[in-house]
Amino acid sequence: MSLYVDKHRPSELKQLTHSKSLTSQLMKLGSSLDLPHLLIYGPSGVGKKTRILALLKQIFGNSVEKIKIDQRVFQTPAGKRLELVVCSSNYHIEITPSDVGIYDRVVVQDLIKELAQTQQVDVNSKRSFKVVVINEAHNLSKDAQHGLRRTMEKYMGNLRVILCSNSTSRILSPIRSRCLLIRVASPSINEICDILFEISEKECLNLPEKLSQRIAVYCNGNLRRALLILECLRVKQFPLSSDMEIVTTDWEDFLESVALMIVEEQSPQRLLLVRGKLYEALAHCIPAEVILKTLTLLILEKIDDNFKVEFVKEAALYDHRLRLGTKHIMHLEAFVAKFMTMYKKYLVELMSDF
Amino acid sequence: MVKKSNTEAKKLNLPWIEKYRPNSIEQVSSQEEIVAVLKKALTSDNLPHMLFYGPPGTGKTSTILALAKELYGPELIKSRVLELNASDERGISVVREKIKNFAKTNVTIANKETKNSYPCPPYKIIILDEADSMTGDAQSALRRVMENYSKITRFCLICNYISRIIEPLTSRCAKFRFKPLPIDSMKGRLKFICEKENLDCRDNVIESLIKVSDGDLRKGVMFLQSASQLYKDEEIPMSAVNEISGSIPNDVVSQFLNCCLKKKFSEFKKILDKIQNEGYSGTQFLIQFQELLMENEEISSLEKSKLSIKVAQVDKSLVDGSDEYLQLMSLIAV
């Protein structure tokens, strides 16, 4: 038995539910003989991947779904051996070059170029090109992206590239100017509700209206998350009732408590306590960037409107440092300490005004 | 027969940026000075080492490829021109082996037919595309190679940022700066393509295409093709231009700017959430934000300058890979 997310994933373009106008454009793209390079971007969990697979199916027919997975071995110029998992069908190949970290350039230079230089073997195929789907394109290093530039132009007869990315900020402008940009927006709350209803009908769950509204608001546009929550709730209690509590993840509860600690009291002792908690979070493999962002959003809910402006400025600063630096705990701690001093000062000033 | 139809189909499938790449220097849009200099090179036997630099989509690669075609013709070009770009391994070892070996081989002799129809000057050309992504070491290794074999080999370096090419290399080359294309020549080229492709495209659509492509002809052509594919057999609506180029509706940006100035946090956050959920790109947003900021006459220059500094900081952070949401949020704090 598979998860709802996979089980009810639309496999054809006409089954897609939200962003109708986009769907009709994709249909046109899929039915024409030609296809430009695509750069598909949007927040996570809105169905970028689903759209790519559906588009491929539209273009090449059912045989795209016959996928084989194999491991490719590469050798870096320095002689290091790398392994990369590759999913491929006769017509397309799907890779995540950022899996191999800074060596993604080698993957681009070897694998994609090798593919690009060979022609489509299948004579019966309607299209003369193959498609390379690159996942997590925002994590591609600069070198790898430079490597893509000429390959994308030179071998366009044999190859189309579909980049799937969370944002276009980290994609080089020469790459962007070679692609057709396709933005996938999050579904609205009503659309999420509709989808939830549809699926619960298929699964014979009796989903109360109120609960679906709450799930839709909570998941913040992330459809995948909404479906996972629905499934979680079903496992927890069946039949569903409208006043059920939405299951939050452990780490969110944990960070919520940390945020509360920070706002409650600002003192060196408290900082020490928080530090311990942060270490714990890091030790449980929660990425430091996520910790910082979540903490910021949680703290923002708890403080005065007047203070928020100053605070977000610092949050942005520490987020930037966190990305550049290597030792995460230092920046997280500095962030908390900075907030504490600023907030304390703000509170003291507020008191003295009275 | 099958083969022929295959190649024909392939030609049909070619993206327009390749299909309409200029075949001769004469056809290169704009860049008059460069074209004039290179035309002289066609008639004489001499050509300096060259360094082309300028923003993307201004015709750097097209120009050198067109020049090579005109100099050597389709046959000889295979043995006389070596093109390396960032998709090839270009570390120091490649410079030492591949480039050096090619540079030192003697010039192949042209057969009579080509000799009569093309100038065929007695040197080879090595094109190093995207040279700014070469390492400093590899660039230094080029220095002597360029000098030693200058009798039989010419180099053409192509890059976006001349500052990333080391000084000793730039001083060995004749520098050509490619300017962003003026509106008129872009319009001419796009119209030409429309005509060839039997595409019905209104003037104002072309104009807005040009505006969003910002002097980058490749972008313009790419957008035009995407638009024609998305709206097959229909007229291309104006709204399509925004969507294809990934730009954000102006009213969203101006709302954001207003809230930014008024410092109303809750409203501000709502708009930001919307931007995030719609999936608009952070850098694109910054570009449009900056534009609107500059055009707005109600904002004092002091405030403008402060916001601009902040925009620059945010941009840097985004390039370094920071979280878009947090960074854009910090725009309110000026």
Whether A88 shows a pLDDT value over 50: the answer reads: yes
**CB neighbour burial string for B210-225, b if at least 16 within 10 angstroms, e if fewer:** bebbbbbbbbbbbbbb
Q: A191, A46 in Cβ contact below 8 A? A: no
Residue of A nearest to B220 (CA): A177
Interval A121-134: pLDDT, tens: 666 666 778 889 99
Which of A37-51, A328-342, B11-25 has the largest mean confidence? A328-342
Quick check: B147 and B21 in contact, CB under 8 A? no
d(CA A184, CA A10): 15
Question: Is residue A312 within 8 Å of B329, Cβ to Cβ?
Answer: yes
CB contact under 8 Å between B326 and A108, yes or no, is no
- C-alpha to C-alpha distance for B240 and B230, rounded to whole angstroms: 9
Q: Which helix (H) or strand (E) holds A310?
A: helix A305-324
Question: Token pair 């530039």 is at which residue?
Answer: A149
Q: Are A288 and A331 in contact (CB under 8 A)?
A: yes
Domain ranges of chain B: 31-177, 183-245, 250-333
Mean pLDDT of A29-48: 85
Identify the residue whose tokens are 């509700």: A193
C-alpha A15/C-alpha A23 separation (Å) is 9
Kindly list the residues from chain A whose CB atom is less than 8 angstroms away from the CB atom of residue B319. Answer: 169-170
Chain B interface, best mutation among A138, A140, A177, by max B CB count within 10 A: A177
Chain B, nearest residue to A154 by Cα: B18
Helix (H) or strand (E) holding B213: helix B203-213
Q: Do A305 and B266 touch (CB under 8 A)?
A: yes
Residues of A in contact with B13 (CB under 8 A): 33-34, 128-129, 157
pLDDT digits (tens, 9 = 90+) for B63-84: 998 988 888 888 888 888 888 8
Segment holding A147, helix H or strand E: helix A142-154
Beta-strand ranges (E) seen in chain A are 38-41, 68-75, 81-88, 92-95, 130-134, 159-165, 180-183
* Torsion angle defined by CA atoms of residues A201, A207, A210 and A211, in that order, rounded to the nearest 10 degrees: -120
Confidence class of residue B53 from pLDDT cuts 50, 70 and 90?
A: very high
Domains of chain A: 2-183 (3.40.50.300), 189-236 (no CATH), 250-353 (1.20.272.10)
CA A183/CA A168 separation, integer angstroms:
10
Residue that has been written with the tokens 């003037």 in this structure: B203
- Residue B119: cis peptide before it, omega within 30 degrees of 0: no
Query: What percent of chain A is modeled with pLDDT above 90?
Result: 19
Q: Say how far apart CA A19 and CA A24 lie, in whole Å.
A: 9
Render pLDDT for B243-294 as a digit per residue (tens, 0 to 9).
Answer: 777 788 888 888 888 888 888 888 888 888 888 888 888 888 898 899 888 8
Q: Are A37 and B238 contacting, i.e. CB atoms less than 8 angstroms apart?
A: no
0.90 exceeded by pTM: no
Contacts across the A-B interface (CB distance below 8 Å): 171
Specify which residues A159 forms β-bridges with. Answer: A130
* Residue among B60, B130, B83 nearest A142 (CA): B130
CA dihedral B227, B231, B232, B234 (to 10 degrees): -120
Interface of A with B in 36-55 (CB under 8 A): 36, 41-43, 46
Question: B333, A186: Cβ pair inside 8 Å?
Answer: no
What is the pLDDT averaged over residues A44-71? 87
- Sort residue A253 into left (φ over 0), alpha (ψ -120 to 50) or beta: alpha
- Asked if B118 contacts B164 with a C-beta cutoff of 8 angstroms, the reply is no
A 139-198 residues with CB below 8 A of B?
A: 142-143, 146-151, 153-154, 156-157, 167-170, 173-174, 176-181, 183-186
- CB of B290 within 8 A of CB of B296? no
Mutate to test the interface with B, among A159, A166, A180 (most CBs of B within 10 A): A180
pLDDT surpasses 70 at B9: no
Answer for the pair A44, A226: CB distance below 8 angstroms, yes or no: no
Query: What is the mean predicted confidence (pLDDT) over A326-333?
Result: 90
Contact between A156 and B14 using a beta-carbon 8 Å cutoff: yes
Search chain A and give the residue with CA nearest B227. A180
Is the pLDDT at B6 greater than 50, yes or no? no
| Whether A168 and B325 lie within 8 Å, measured CB to CB | no
Residue whose token pair is 């109600």:
B298
Backbone region of residue A47 per phi and psi (left: phi > 0; alpha: psi in -120 to 50; beta: other values): left
Least CB–CB distance from A180: residue in B88, B226, B327: B226
Report d(CA B223, CA B242) in Å as an integer: 10
Sheet holding B50-53, edge to edge: B81-84, B124-128, B153-159, B50-53, B174-177
Yes or no, beta carbons of B278 and A185 under 8 Å apart: yes
Of A169, A174, A309, the CB nearest to B324: A169
- Tell me the nearest-neighbour CA distance from A152 into chain B, angstroms: 10
- Are the C-beta atoms of B222 and A178 separated by less than 8 Å? yes
What architecture does CATH give domain B250-333? Answer: Up-down Bundle (1.20)
Which residues fall within 8 angstroms of residue B97, CB to CB, at 6 or more apart? Answer: none
Structure tokens at B232: 């097959």
CB atoms within 10 A of CB B201: 20
What is the b/e burial string over A112-138, where b = at least 16 CB atoms within 10 angstroms of the residue's CB? Answer: bbebbeeeeeeeebebbbbbbbbbbbb
CB B197 within 8 A of CB B228: yes
Q: Find all residues with CB under 8 Å of B5, minimum gap 6, and list them.
A: none
Output B247 or B10, whichever has higher pLDDT.
B247
- Return d(Cα B334, Cα B330) in angstroms, integer: 8
The ipTM (two decimal places) reads 0.81
Kindly report the number of other CB atoms within 10 A of residue A75's CB atom: 11
DSSP B332: G
pLDDT at B7 over 60: no
Which residue of chain A comes nearest to B286, CA vs CA? Answer: A169
Q: Is A171 helix (H, G, I), strand (E, B) or coil?
A: coil
Confidence label for B2 from pLDDT (cuts 50, 70 and 90): very low
Average pLDDT over residues A53-69: 87
Burial of B161 (0-12, 13-18, 19+ CB in 10 A): exposed
Whole-Å CA distances, A260 to A191, A275, A298, A319, B113: 34, 14, 8, 20, 84
Asked: is B31-177 a CATH 3.30.70.3270 domain? The reply is no
Separation in Å, CA B321 to CA A343, B69, B325: 28, 41, 12
Q: B183-245: what fold?
A: Helicase, Ruva Protein; domain 3 (1.10.8)
Interface probe for A, chosen from B322, B324, B331, B332 (most Cβ of A below 10 Å), is B322
- Chain A contact set for B314 (CB, 8 A): 316
> Does residue A321 belong to the interface with chain B, where contact is any CB pair within 8 Å?
no
Q: Write the pLDDT tens digit of every residue in A268-306.
A: 999 999 999 999 999 998 889 899 999 999 999 888 888
Phi, psi of A300 (to 5 degrees): -55, -35
Q: Is B87–A317 a contact, with Cβ atoms under 8 angstroms apart?
A: no
Q: What is the pLDDT of residue B1?
A: 34
Q: Read off the pLDDT of each residue in A185-189 and give the average, rounded to a whole number.
A: 87
Tokens of A113: 């170029």
Quickly tell me which residue has 């017509």 as its tokens: A91
Contact A183 B246 (CB under 8 A): yes
Distance from CA of A142 to the nearest CA of B (A): 9
Q: Do A32 and B229 touch (CB under 8 A)?
A: yes
